[in-house]
């Protein structure tokens, strides 16, 4: 194998390692935020909702602003908004459009035909309506799922941490 191929392979492996490390860091930030499970989970859910909803790149700022305004976890709100990123965006866009098409009854093939016939403004309205309908349902659904998952994760983490702290304390009976 040439040096160039080895270098490419190592860069790819490094990219995956960095991505895994970044995801783990976000997970640990979420778990270790000094707040109640409800506030951490609420921040995560709001972040996920805003991250999926079309905010045109302002998701993290909006999530942070809402966290300040309503006093829930700022860290988990920003972490939640990172659900929409260049890797996951095409998946969420496609899922939003498919779900919206199913909800509104607008045929995907019909939109393509309208574009071919030059009725772009009529098609654009249907595309926006279809996408927003599916995206709203998807954002609400995933926000609810992430709220419950986040609540359970933070609650379990806090219980483990409290148990470890109790176990590390000296036994009062042995000190007599």
Question: What is the tens place of the pLDDT at every residue in 73-82?
Answer: 888 898 899 8
Cβ-Cβ contacts under 8 Å for 136 (sequence gap 6 or more): 53
The whole-number pLDDT of residue 62 equals: 94
Question: What is the tens place of the pLDDT at every residue in 26-75?
Answer: 777 777 777 789 999 999 999 999 999 998 889 889 999 999 999 998 88
**SS3 label, residue 157:** helix
Task: Give the DSSP per-residue string, 98-148.
Answer: HHHHHHH---HHHHHHHHHTT-HHHHHHHHHHHHHHHHHHHHHHHHHHHHH
The whole-number pLDDT of residue 46 equals: 96
């Amino acid at each position: 194998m040439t040096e160039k191929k080895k270098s490419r392979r190592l860069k790819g492996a490094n990219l995956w390692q960095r991505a895994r490390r970044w995801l783990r860091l976000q997970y640990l930030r979420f778990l270790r935020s000094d707040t109640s499970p409800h506030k951490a989970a609420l921040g995560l859910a709001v972040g996920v909702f805003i991250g999926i909803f079309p905010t045109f790149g302002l998701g993290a700022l909006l999530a942070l602003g809402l966290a300040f305004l309503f006093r829930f976890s700022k860290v988990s709100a920003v972490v939640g908004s990172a659900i929409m990123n260049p890797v996951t965006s095409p998946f969420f866009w496609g899922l939003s459009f498919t779900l919206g098409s199913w909800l509104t009854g607008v045929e995907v093939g019909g939109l393509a035909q309208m574009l071919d016939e030059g009725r772009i403004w009529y098609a654009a309205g249907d595309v926006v309506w279809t996408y927003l309908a599916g995206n709203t349902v998807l954002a609400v659904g995933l926000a609810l799922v992430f709220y419950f998952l986040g609540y359970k994760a933070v609650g379990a983490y806090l219980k483990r941490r409290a148990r470890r702290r109790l176990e590390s304390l000296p036994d009062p009976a042995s000190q007599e």
